């Protein structure tokens, strides 16, 4: 299993604080069946700045430590960047880091709202040659209240990633319900942990994928598994396009 979103690097954001924390997270990831994990520290979220060069250096250090400790987990470089007006400039000057140096780039919205310029920025990112992946949309208050906004982003080429813990109810029943509605409406393309530690913000990947298989069958289960591999390989992911019928059904749930 591949986990494309984590905060496993020590001491760089609100995830692992020490190397010991990182090792504990790595062991927990392996126990859940995760073989490859993308380290995606926060960037430009008002508190943390983690640019390409420093992330790659920290991933190399952690990778060497995992080999030393004989933990069978591959760590790959990525970045979780809060949407901002300088993203295209930062792409051009090499500060932004796509996932595994592919065409896929994480974009995070603030938790309470979606900035007015988001549609234009998501378009500009695509013009620059990258595919934006909106992370944890199920935890954004404006998208919960106005899901048609997310539908429009996806219709215009953006992808989304839902948190495993949201699928299984760790963030509450409302977010769990919205997460499942995103799956049903074909408005999400990846399930990832967004793990920060082994206690309050753990992986939940095994539990989430079991729930997906039980609720939606093997096709969805394997689609989400395969999409993470396709991302790593810089290939086009599986997209079940949201139809007008599904749009109306989805919006009718609110």
Model confidence pLDDT, tens digit, residues 222-248: 999 999 999 999 999 988 766 555 555
Q: At what angle do helices 205-216 and 218-232 cross, to 10 degrees?
A: 130
CB–CB of 29/69 below 8 Å? no
Q: Provide the 3-class DSSP secondary structure of residue 180.
A: helix
Q: At what angle do helices 173-184 and 244-251 cross, to 10 degrees?
A: 160
Q: Does the pLDDT of residue 251 top 70, yes or no? A: no
Question: How large is the average pLDDT for residues 193-205?
Answer: 97
Cβ neighbour number for residue 56 with a 10 Å cutoff: 14
CB–CB of 158/133 below 8 Å? yes
**Distance from C-alpha of 72 to C-alpha of 126, rounded to nearest angstrom:** 35
Instruction: Answer with the residue of higher pLDDT: 76 or 254.
Output: 76
> Which positions ≥6 away from 243 have C-beta within 8 Å?
none
- The domain containing residue 240 runs over which residues? 2-251
Question: How large is the average pLDDT for residues 202-208?
Answer: 97
pTM recorded for the entire structure: 0.95
Residue 249: predicted pLDDT? 61
> Which positions ≥6 away from 72 have C-beta within 8 Å?
30, 35
Q: Tens digit of pLDDT for each residue in 156-180?
A: 999 999 999 999 999 999 999 999 9
What percentage of the chain exceeds 90 in pLDDT? 93
Q: Does the pLDDT of residue 188 top 60, yes or no? A: yes
Which DSSP state fits 47? S
Question: How large is the average pLDDT for residues 50-73?
Answer: 98
Strands 190-192 and 36-39: unpaired
Q: At what angle do helices 147-155 and 244-251 cross, to 10 degrees?
A: 160
Cβ neighbour number for residue 69 with a 10 Å cutoff: 12
What is the pLDDT of the chain when averaged over all its residues? 94
CB–CB of 202/6 below 8 Å? no
Q: How many domains does the chain have?
A: 1
**Distance from C-alpha of 118 to C-alpha of 136, rounded to nearest angstrom:** 15
Q: Does the pLDDT of residue 89 top 90, yes or no? A: yes
> Which positions ≥6 away from 229 have C-beta within 8 Å?
2
CA dihedral 198, 211, 231, 162 (to 10 degrees): -70
pLDDT band of 254, cuts 50, 70, 90:
very low
Which CATH number do you get for residue 15? 3.20.20.140
Rg (CA), the chain: 17
Residue with tokens 């995606």: 40
Query: Of 13-17, 120-124, 236-240, which gets the smallest average pLDDT?
Result: 236-240
């Amino acid at each position: 299993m591949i986990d494309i979103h984590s905060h496993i690097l020590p001491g760089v954001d609100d995830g692992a604080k020490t190397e010991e924390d990182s090792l504990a997270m790595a062991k927990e990831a392996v126990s859940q069946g995760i073989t490859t994990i993308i380290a995606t520290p926060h960037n430009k979220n008002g508190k943390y700045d983690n640019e390409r060069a420093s992330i790659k250096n920290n991933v190399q250090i952690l990778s060497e430590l995992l080999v030393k400790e004989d933990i069978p987990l591959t760590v790959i470089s990525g970045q979780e960047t809060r949407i901002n007006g300088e993203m295209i400039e930062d792409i051009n000057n090499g500060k932004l880091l796509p996932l595994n140096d592919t065409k896929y780039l994480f974009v995070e919205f603030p938790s309470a709202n979606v900035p007015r310029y988001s549609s234009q920025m998501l378009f500009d990112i695509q013009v620059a040659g990258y595919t934006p992946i909106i992370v944890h949309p199920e935890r954004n208050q404006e998208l919960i209240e106005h899901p048609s906004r997310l539908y429009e982003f996806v219709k215009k080429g953006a992808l989304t990633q839902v948190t495993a813990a949201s699928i299984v109810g760790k963030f509450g029943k409302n977010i769990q319900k919205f997460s499942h509605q995103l799956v049903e409406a074909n408005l999400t393309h990846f399930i990832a942990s967004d793990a920060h530690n082994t206690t309050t913000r753990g992986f939940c990947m095994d539990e989430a994928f079991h729930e997906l298989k039980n609720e939606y069958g093997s096709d969805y289960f394997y689609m989400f598994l395969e999409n993470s591999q396709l991302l790593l390989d810089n290939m086009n992911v599986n997209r079940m396009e949201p139809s007008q019928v599904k749009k109306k059904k989805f919006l009718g749930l609110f």
